[in-house]
Homo-oligomer: A and B are copies of this chain.
Amino acid sequence: MINYPNGQQYQEVKKKTRQSKKSASELSISSANRGMAFEEDINQSNIYYRDKHICLITKRPTPINIVKVDYTKGAKITHAYFEEQSTTDYNGVYKGKYIDFEAKNTKNKTSFPLSNITKHQIEHLKLVIEHGGIAFFIIQFQLLGKVYLLDASYVIHFYEHGERKSIPLSCFEENGIEVEQSYNPRIKYIEAIDKKYF
């Protein structure tokens, strides 16, 4: 699963990921790769939680605008473009409640830049909160080795009222929940949800 719309070289990254599965320690893992690795960690955790009957959270597929399909070759799409995700990447159900979140990673050590968050996503999260859903971000500070769950209300506040387009690390430390990382599931976000919302 890859964040295609950011313009990175899909095929090159895919190739690198395959390599990294073989010998991760030998590679200088790029930022793109780390971002993908985090997304894969979340996806793996979702599968773990689903199979253990803990919750049901799924990743929304990346929206694609299809221009042309060749049906002489078994419905091969020959011309299409990535569309911007107007919602978040993840949603689902836990203890009957609606859960909605976005997962991002950053190399920044002191703040999380909001440049990758779109206005549509902010509007979407405001509606989730309005309708009584649980909305948050899971942010990986990869160079610090830390992952935080932060309620979406803080992100909305900084997006709309923050002087800088970023959220300082101190906001995560004070208002967020640190998410434990392990082998399986890799990102134990359900425990953080329990602490924060239940």
Binding site for B on A (CB under 8 A): 4-5, 7, 9-11, 50, 53, 55-56, 58, 60-64, 66, 68-69, 71, 74-82, 87, 91-100, 124, 127-128, 130-133
Distance A55 CA – B128 CA, assembled complex (angstroms): 9
Q: What are 10 of the A-B contact pairs (CB < 8 Å)?
A: A5-B75, A10-B75, A11-B69, A55-B131, A58-B87, A77-B80, A93-B128, A93-B132, A93-B133, A96-B133
Q: Is the interface of A mostly helix, strand, loop or mixed?
A: mixed
Whether B127 pairs with A50 at a CB distance below 8 angstroms is yes
Q: How far is the CB of A154 from chain B (nearest CB, A)?
A: 20
Whether B82 pairs with A75 at a CB distance below 8 angstroms is yes
* Identical subunits present: 2
Chain B residue at smallest Cβ distance from A2: B66
Whether A53 pairs with B130 at a CB distance below 8 angstroms is yes
Whether A68 pairs with B131 at a CB distance below 8 angstroms is no
